Amino acid sequence: MAGSSGQLGRALLSRLGPRVVWAGNSGALDVRDAAAVRARVQDARPDVVINATAYNKVDRAEVERDEAMAVNEAGPRHLAAAAAEMGALLVHVSTNYVFDGALRRPYTEEDEARPLGVYGLSKLAGEAAVARVGGRHLIVRTSALFGRTESRETPGNFVDRILAGARAGLPLRVVDDQEVSTTYAPDLAAGIVALVEADCTGLFHVVNEGSCTWHALAVEALTQAGLGARVEALRSEELAAPARRPGYSVLSTARYRSRGLPPLRDWRAALADHLANV
């Protein structure tokens, strides 16, 4: 597994336990290096190669295009090629930001992807690269991931940043016109394992049930945590972020559920679980 130190990587390691034959972070394996990736996969001889790495700095990607493409397009391409050579399944994780938000109903896997920014473009390029390699692959799109981070001192997801800001007495200002499907990393890990064990291949959307705006997520997190901080609701244009985000990028999990797999629980229940374990 590449990307083992991130929120999803940690959840997958916990879920898979001794079934993991090798796992490492970017320091142990640079997915941009095709030769290093090939050597690592050949040495591990896995049945499944999981790519949990990502360049996910949405705003910085607008000025770091080459770096975003190197990690999000070349990285999965190298992993897919190495997996195909070994006859292994490649599992690659992508994002709701491949969509432009023009639709006002949950996006399915058949809907046309039209990224608004470099980050989404690089992730879509990664999907295409994996498919072009031609080996067995499973691409899982997810959204608004939250879970345990490597260090409590450096909160890395939106929920933890909101809680840290509230506890520090900082002003909280969050957009209320971008609706997403939030996803708890352990639940996503369970969904990915379920897809693999069901011998599923192709493209799937996997997120917790329900949807909310970022502002609603912040308010719910503070309420569940027993913090009374006020969250100012903003429109996207007020935030003036360098990268455009889709106004609506909720993902449909109908294809996932059609394989007889149980839906992930409601996002509020998943959030409560996360807050009980941070």
- Note if 97 is an active site residue: no
Pairing between strand 212-213 and 179-180? antiparallel
Distance between CA atoms of residues 93 and 138, nearest Å: 8
Distance between CA atoms of residues 219 and 217, nearest Å: 6
Structural tokens at position 9: 């990587």
Answer whether 203's CB lies under 8 Å from 139's CB.
yes
Structural tokens at position 96: 């709701």
Answer whether 8's CB lies under 8 Å from 144's CB.
no
Indicate the DSSP class of residue 74: I
Pick the catalytic residue: 55, 97, 119, 184?
Answer: 119
Distance between CA atoms of residues 224 and 274, nearest Å: 10
Distant-in-sequence contacts of 110-117, Cβ < 8 A, 24+ apart:
116/243, 116/244, 116/245, 116/246, 117/58, 117/61, 117/62, 117/243, 117/244, 117/245
Local structure of 251: helix, strand or coil? strand
Burial class (CB in 10 A: 0-12, 13-18, 19+), 124: buried
Distance between CA atoms of residues 68 and 55, nearest Å: 6
Tell me the sheet residues that pair with 139: 92, 203
Question: Which active-site residues does the annotation give?
Answer: 119
